[in-house]
Amino acid sequence: MKRATVLMLASIAVMAPLIAKAQVAGSTLLGVANAELREVAMGWSAKHQVLGKAVFNDKNERIGSVDDVVIAPDKAVSYAIIGVGGFLGVGKHDVAIPVGQIKLVDGKFLLAGATKEALKALPPFAYAH
């Protein structure tokens, strides 16, 4: 009798993820699947690891900081808003940089080939209202 109970419990355990994902017609699956959680956990947290962090060039010069991350209408993260120059927010120049151009190297955000002057020469980023 114990073996049958163990087999039944094992079957339920194997089926539980399938049962939990079952959808009713017209309903929407919310959240992420267990398989996706690992991928999410390996990503960058905007709040904890990106916002406010310094951005350096390949000469290890601090050229700005990440002030925001803009998500495109198609839901793909598209741009980091980098604040360049200024003091206490006065005279700061915000620019949009494609996220794909920023690399994480030795715990620092690297924008290869950039300088403060080059970033200040880019068109300023302004939020649409």
pLDDT in tens, 6-22: 334 444 444 444 444 55
CA 9 to chain centre: 39
Domain total of the chain: 2
- pLDDT confidence of residue 50: 82
Examine residue 129 and state whether it is found in any structural domain, yes or no: no
Q: What is the mean pLDDT of each run of 10 residues along the chain (129 residues)?
A: 42 43 57 72 72 92 92 83 76 88 92 92 87
pTM of the prediction? 0.65
Cα–Cα distance measured from residue 78 to residue 56, given in angstroms and rounded to the nearest whole number: 19
User: Are 65 and 110 found together in one domain?
Assistant: yes
Domain that holds residue 14: 2-41
- Counting residues of the chain whose pLDDT is more than 90, the rounded percentage is 34
User: Are 37 and 55 found together in one domain?
Assistant: no
User: Are 56 and 9 found together in one domain?
Assistant: no
